[in-house]
Amino acid sequence: MQLNGKRYTTIYMSLYGISNLEDISKKIFIETTQLMDKNVRKFMNSNGMTTIPEYAKTGIDMANFFGVTQNGDRVNYAEFFSTDDKVLCFDDLERANVDVIDILGYINNFVEHDHIKTIIICNEKELSTKLKSSNLEMKTFIATYLLDKQGELNSNNSKPMVEKIQNKIEHVFDKANDYERIKEKLIGETFEYAPKFDYIINGILIRYEDNKELIRFLRENTGLIITTFNKSGTRNLRILKHALNDFKKIYEMVSKSYPNTSNRVIQTMLIFTIAVSFEIKAGKVTKEKFINIKDNEEYKSILVSSRVLIDNRQFYIKEFDNNYYYNFKAEYRFFKFIEYYVRTRIFDMKLFKSNMQVIQNTVDTENLPAYKRLLTEEYWKISDDQFDRIIDETLEDVKEGKIRLIDIVKLFAYFSYFSKKELIKYDIKTLKNTFFTGMNLASLTSEYCPNPDEELGKVAIEEIVGEIEDVLDYFYKLNDKLLDKMRREKADELFRAIPMKMELFYEKFDKQFMNIPIFKYYDVYQLFQRVSCASNEDIVLIKEKLVNRAEKYKDEIEPEMENIKQFKKIIDNYVKDKETTIKIVMLRDLSKELGYILSKYNIEADEDEFLNEEKPEETSEETVEVEEKEEEFSDFIIED
């Protein structure tokens, strides 16, 4: 660079990660020797380069070490010893792994003795924190020891113990004061970097000028970008750049696949992309905070519960919404495909299409079913002339069982709250009768809810514990019945694969049913028919899988042991007195292993008990009618 007609050579180096002072010397040596290499300088000048890439420095340094590049050039010692035309620049002081006081002492040699113009760049706030927090356990131990020796540890003065220890640490290990003293001696001028973010952000947007539609949208919404950036509470422009790059992908995908998406929704996407990026990447929140929120409806349900029923368990979500969407009204405020993209770096097309389809259908709350408005919208946002209608429509849907079973329980929490506030004319007893009726009907069409505690945890039901206990108990009973129904369907689907689709059976059994008592949900006579028709090899594989499963998941599969006992009896009665074949041997081995499994539960099979049991009168079309007589079991077997 030129200053007052004089040319200065700048020597820049980062102190990031250096572990000793010798590393700094090596960096200076590499920089100065490279700049004196005529071949390097000639190449840089001809290509308009002002700095050498770091990887190239490494290569040049090693080449110099092996004597490859100098071409016989002699070192110009006059230039080598010249210091008045050099400017040293040390960056990332706070990130060095060497004591900062030692580094400043080292740099002082250049400033005080060689009079080299020197620039140090650092984040003093981080540096101060680093000085105070280093070796904190050791400092606390020594401070406690000194206080004890001085008789101050258990003295009766009014200072708390923590304050005493903190004061002693600062007195004995006050590196921050040492830093200030050395800085006062060493540093002549201090400049604070105080960026004008409005100006910088406008500069960042220039990179998107090739995309005319995108840059137009970003320019029109620069205020939203700056506001969201400021609300993040950080000054991290790097995260903002990454967020805007992510939004570029999102904007292009939405514009291409859903060109009629409203401007308001895309504005909300912009805010959400920047907000989630800062929350996750700035370390303000763990990624898990968003993982369990599956869609905008659930996000709004959490907000409604938090605000209406004063539920503080979801405090973070409420604060996130209050912070980033303050004075910005939007019905659709959580985009799962964006959160997933920011968190995992995977743009899930299936999730994207699913979210966008819902957005297309539900952005207008007037078109939402009444019960969804109660679950996803603060009730005070509903006008008085609409509220009674929404209550009546919701109750009608509840009574007719048109709502998911789990949602009926959530709605009861709100209706109980409305009843307490005298917003509705129904008392708790009347509400319970209506909701019990609706739950019975809903259980006929609803699916099993695998995570009821998590789902209900999003509603502050503890606020109405007395009123909701009966409803909760009844819900859990119905949900258990739905679990049985689901497993019976799954069992039928699983065992239908025997004997014709054994690969499908093994895949499903290994992935889905190893720790589930699936045999409890299937008729043992049909099971015997199917297994006995399988190949000998498959019977062996089934036997091995059952034993392995019992070893690993003994407690989980205990409920199916009664059916396993019945299954063993059927096999034993069939193979009894049969002529020995490979098939018969395989079935006997299977029975033996089933007996081993039953012994783990102290269960013994009783053949006489089986013979006296009543057999089913009829079976489905896929099964052969079973008679009590043992001989007729032979109809089930296809001999090899």
Residue 529 is predicted with a pLDDT of: 92
The rounded distance, in Å, linking the Cα atoms of 375 and 390 is 12
Side chain identity at 431, as an amino acid letter?
L
pLDDT of 332 higher than 80: yes
The tens digit of pLDDT for each residue in 126-183 reads 776 666 666 667 767 777 877 777 777 776 666 777 777 777 766 666 555 667 777 8
Provide mean pLDDT across the span 86-99. 87
Among 536, 480, 548, smallest CA distance to 509 is for 548
Cβ-based neighbour number of residue 604 at 10 Å: 9
Residue 455 is predicted with a pLDDT of: 76
Query: Which distant-in-sequence residues (6+ apart) come within 8 Å of 518 by Cβ?
Result: 487, 490, 491, 494, 509, 560
The more confidently predicted of residues 135 and 528 is 528
The rounded distance, in Å, linking the Cα atoms of 174 and 143 is 12
Eight-state DSSP code of residue 98: S
The more confidently predicted of residues 130 and 254 is 254
Residue 32 is predicted with a pLDDT of: 64
Please give the angle made by the CA atoms of 256, 257 and 258, to the nearest 5 degrees.
Answer: 100
The tens digit of pLDDT for each residue in 443-499 reads 999 898 888 877 776 665 555 556 788 888 889 999 999 999 999 999 999 999 999
Residue 615 is predicted with a pLDDT of: 44
Q: In what helix (H) or strand (E) does residue 88 lie, and over which residues does it extend?
A: strand 86-91
Provide mean pLDDT across the span 427-443. 90
The residue length of the chain stands at: 640
Residue 378 is predicted with a pLDDT of: 74
The rounded distance, in Å, linking the Cα atoms of 362 and 359 is 5
Among 585, 501, 470, 487, smallest CA distance to 539 is for 585
Contact 393, 386 (CB under 8 A): no
Could you write out the DSSP letters of every residue in 275-328? HHHHHHHTTSS-THHHHT--SHHHHHHHHHHHHHS--GGGHHHHHHHHHHTTT-
Residue 517 is predicted with a pLDDT of: 92
* Pairing relationship of beta strands 86-91 and 9-14 according to DSSP bridges: parallel
Under the banding of pLDDT at 50, 70 and 90, the label for residue 300 is confident
How far is the CA of 17 from the CAs of 20, 28, 183, in angstroms? 9, 16, 22
**What would you measure as the largest C-alpha separation in the chain, in angstroms?**
115
Half-sphere exposure for 83 (CA within 13 Å, toward CB): 12
Provide mean pLDDT across the span 317-343. 88
The tens digit of pLDDT for each residue in 377-425 reads 777 878 888 888 889 999 999 999 999 998 898 888 888 888 888 888 8
Range name among 138-147, 217-226, 380-389, 602-611 with the lowest pLDDT average: 602-611
The rounded distance, in Å, linking the Cα atoms of 531 and 161 is 73
Q: What is the mean pLDDT of the chain?
A: 80
Residue 385 is predicted with a pLDDT of: 84
